[in-house]
Amino acid sequence: MHSSEELWTQCVRWLEAELPDKDIATWIRPLHPIASRERLLLLAPNRIVLDRVRQDFLGTIRRAVRASSGETLPEVELAVGSAEVRAPAGPPSTPAAGPEPVLAPAAPDEPPMGNAPKLDSRFTFANFIEGKSNSQARAAAQYVAESPGGAYNPLLIYGPTGLGKTHLMHSIGNEIQRRNPQARVAYLFAEQWMSQYVTGVRHGRWDDIKSYYRSVDALLIDDIQFFAYKEKTQEEFFHAFNSLIDSRKQIVLTCDRYPKDVDGIDDRLKSRFTWGLSVAVETPDLETRIAILQSKAEQSHDLKLPDDVAIFVAQRVRSSVRDLEGALHRLAASARFRGEPLTTDFARTTLKDMLAAYERQVTIENIKRKVADYYNIRVSDLSSPRRTRTLARPRQIAMALAKELTQHSLPEIGESFGKDHTTVLHACRKVAELREQDLKIREDYENLQRQLGF
Amino acid sequence: MIGAQLPLAVQLRESASFESYYPGPNGDAVQALQSLAVPVLLYGPRGSGRTHLLQAAARHHRAAYLPLAELSAHGPSLLEGLEGAPAVCIDDLEQVAAQREWCIALLRLADQLRARGAGYAFAADAPPERLDLALPDLRTRLGACSRFGLKPLSDEERRELLRERARARGLDLPDDVGRWIINHRARDIPSLLEALERLDRAALAAKRRLTLPFVQSVLEG
């Protein structure tokens, strides 16, 4: 009698000789075996894999089983599911293994759904690097983790992707559970709420799911901008939201911008999102970027990153913490492989493509396109002689960006906007001034910088 | 036992493994994929070997391998359930980069694999900055990968690759022959390997060694 793993490993070996590599890698390897004496149940991750295997490979798999099993010949069956939970296969368009909230400790009354996103235990307050750009958000997150359902409810953390919102959110969840192992924390992505709603309604289970969410101690929802234009989902969320707040359960939300600026979200919901405390996470300054690099080098690679290398990388990689992480991974990998010491020269050579890619990308045309997109105007408007505020402001911002992010001379920049260099100079001064005084302009400017890779 | 039942043709089939990849200047990418301790992103034009490497990684880690150039028509539901896999390798990202729903599915898959500590590798025909992604969120996920722009082999490395592959088939490929192939035939790796395959069969059939005249007659005849 084989264990299911053993039997399946043998079958796969047999199949490897019979089928092209690619079919093995794409269709056979994702199958997960569960064997008993009478049958070998193969769980496919989704309906697409299941259908393809049934159609093209089931016969060959049966032959593999015949060749690999001993005297007992198990029946081969296929289903959609994962190693932990086997969800019944729904109609073709149904995501059969729907997402499930994370529960820790496992609550007896959790709704029977498929794979859940997990709280990442590596994200903690202890390894969150604090700087000017995120200290307020960090302090608020810590407060919420210590007093869930208290003064800051909901806590909304907003800012562009890759700056640590998710790290803070996971830290809150992990800390709540550390302090109270009985606490039920549900973590999910905004779009999962949506798909749970759709499948829940279709299978008549929405009431169960709803009451489950109303029973948790803390609900963490990542990226609520993905709620945009999903009216029904928003309405259901609105009710769940109100009921959690009423019963003093903690809600934590993240969004890639201030919710008022997200199109396609109901105004009532937008105002609810900002009822509690809203805190921004901004691009980390140089000092913080250096500290992030050094901390991650130690944590992930057990590596002491020399100061000058950290400075070299941090000065050039500015757009997101994830990019810093990627640069570090690459440096560590190549230094290990080549057995070379980590110097700035080594970093310059190793990261050449990456750094050049940043620089190559920024052209005046590219800046104009991004700015026009951002403000919903035409690229040609940026070079038109019209001076209405709705055009003049974006034009000035585009000019200031061109001066900051490219090497072009002021006359060159002026020319590409159909203006002379004094206009560019004026624009740069004006934008610098506005960035000091006007929060919205500052945010716009920084968003655009980031979109351009800075 | 099982091995003995293999038909001969199948035994000769070259499979995409790390052993059958000639690393040349891309040795650090190979090592990163072998370990997969941190996520990896490969990019490079067609024929740069990204597919070979990614398939090798999939084999090594018993990972699912998804070439989106062939599979994107299935839609992003193709990725459902894969967050539970031991590792995942996704090829041809450029095929779906401009589609929002695909971007969401890919970034969530990356997030969940990461949270579980499972490895993943992506490959695309261009670096993330030039992929025209529908969502910046996916760009930062790709940014978090250890990225390797695969470099093409030099002619010297291509000759070495041919020599090595010939040796693996029990053939001796003299230097002048290697040089002639590189100078006269298509130089991309798949074409070179295909030429070698033809030479191998012809040499076996004619019971000849790979001399220059013989090779010329096979490849140009």
CA distance A146 to A126: 14
| Pairwise CA distance, residues A59 & A431, whole Å | 68
Q: Test A322 with B127 for CB contact under 8 angstroms.
A: no
Q: What pLDDT digit, counting tens, does each position of B4-18 carry?
A: 333 333 333 457 889
Residues 6+ apart with CB under 8 A from A221: A187, A188, A189, A190, A193, A251, A252, A253, A254
| Spatial CB neighbours of A253, under 8 Å, sequence gap ≥ 6 | A154, A155, A156, A157, A220, A221, A224, A273
Q: What are phi and psi of B119, to 5 degrees?
A: -85, 155
Alpha carbon distances (Å) from B128 to A236, A334, B141: 36, 20, 10
A336: which chain B residues are within 8 Å (Cβ-Cβ)?
Answer: 31
Structure tokens at A431: 């934008």
Tell me what pLDDT residue A450 has: 78
Nearest CA in chain A to B60: A25
Q: Which residues of A are annotated binding-site positions for ATP?
A: 162, 164-166
The values of phi and psi at residue B89, to 5°, are -120, 125
| CATH 1.10.8.60, chain A: domain bounds | 286-360
3-state secondary structure at position B79: helix
Q: What is the pLDDT of residue B9?
A: 35
B33, pLDDT greater than 60? yes
Q: Where in chain A is the domain with CATH 3.30.300.180?
A: 4-80
CA dihedral B70, B76, B81, B85 (to 10 degrees): 50
How confident is the model over B144-189, as pLDDT tens digits? Answer: 999 999 987 888 898 999 999 999 899 999 999 999 998 888 887 8
Q: Which amino acid is at A290?
A: I
B51 backbone dihedrals φ, ψ, rounded to 5°: -70, -45
Contact A26/B77, CB-based, under 8 Å? no
Name the residue of chain A whose CA is nearest to B9's CA.
Answer: A17
Per-residue confidence (pLDDT) for residue A6, from 0 to 100: 86
Selected from 1.10.8.60, 3.30.300.30, 3.40.50.880, 3.40.30.10, the CATH number assigned to the domain covering A286-360 reads: 1.10.8.60
Q: Which of residues 2-31 of A touch B (CB under 8 A)?
A: 10, 13-14, 17-18, 21-22, 25-26, 29-30
Alpha helices (runs of H) in A89-184, residue ranges in sequence order:
135-146, 165-179
Mean pLDDT by 10 residues, chain A (454 residues): 78 92 93 86 96 96 88 85 51 37 38 64 94 96 96 95 95 96 93 87 88 90 92 89 92 94 92 94 93 95 94 90 95 94 94 77 86 92 88 94 79 89 91 92 88 72
Q: What percent of chain B has pLDDT over 90?
A: 68
Residue count of chain A: 454
| Among B89, B93, B102, CA closest to B43 | B93
Average pLDDT, chain B: 88
* Integer Cα distance of A105 and A216 in angstroms: 12
Both tokens assigned to A279: 């805190």
Question: Could you report how far apart the first and last alpha carbons of chain A are, in Å?
Answer: 60
pLDDT at A95: 36
> Which of the residues B14, B140, B141 would you substitute to probe the A interface, choosing the one with the greatest number of A C-beta atoms within 10 Å?
B140
Sheet containing strand B40-43, edge to edge, reads: B64-67, B87-91, B119-124, B40-43, B146-149
Inter-chain touch B64–A25, beta carbons under 8 Å: yes
- Name every chain A residue with its beta carbon within 8 A of the beta carbon of B121: none
- pLDDT reported for residue A404: 79
Cα–Cα distances in Å, from B102 out to A294, A453, B90? 34, 22, 12
**Beta strands A75-80; A218-222: pairing state:** unpaired
Q: Which of A175, A270, A268 is nearest to A224 (CA)?
A: A270
Chain B contact set for A83 (CB, 8 A): 84
* CA-closest candidate to residue A383, choices A409, A408, A420: A420
pLDDT tens per residue across span B50-70: 999 999 999 999 999 999 999
Residue range(s) of every CATH 1.10.1750.10 domain in chain A:
364-452
Other Cβ atoms less than 10 A from the Cβ of A299: the count is 11
User: What's the CATH code, domain A364-452?
Assistant: 1.10.1750.10
- Chain A residue nearest residue B73, CA to CA: A48
CA gap B110, B33 in Å, rounded: 16
Residue A251 pairs with which residues in a beta bridge? A219
Looking at residue A4, its pLDDT comes to 77
Our CA angle for B71, B72, B76, nearest 5°, is: 115
Instruction: Give CA angle at B141 (B47, A336), nearest 5°.
Output: 65
Binary contact (A330, B146; C-beta < 8 A): yes
Q: Which residues of chain A are in CATH 3.40.50.300 domains? A: 134-280
What CATH code would you report for A134-280?
3.40.50.300
Whether the CB of A1 is below 8 Å from some CB of chain B: the reply is no
DSSP state string for B160-194 = HHHHHHHHHTT----HHHHHHHHHHS--SHHHHHH
Quickly count: other Cβ atoms within 10 Å of residue A423's Cβ.
17
pLDDT of res. A355: 85
Strands A39-44 and A32-35: antiparallel
The residues that bridge with A250 in the sheet, in sequence order, are A218
pLDDT at A18: 92
What's the mean pLDDT in B99-126? 94
Distance from the Cα of A424 to chain B's closest Cα (Å) equals: 28
Does any CB of chain B come closer than 8 Å to the CB of residue A69? no
- Read off the pTM: 0.78
Sequence letter at residue A436? E
CATH code, A4-80? 3.30.300.180
Q: Which residues contact B92 (CB under 8 A, 6 or more apart)?
A: B67, B68, B69, B72, B123, B124, B125
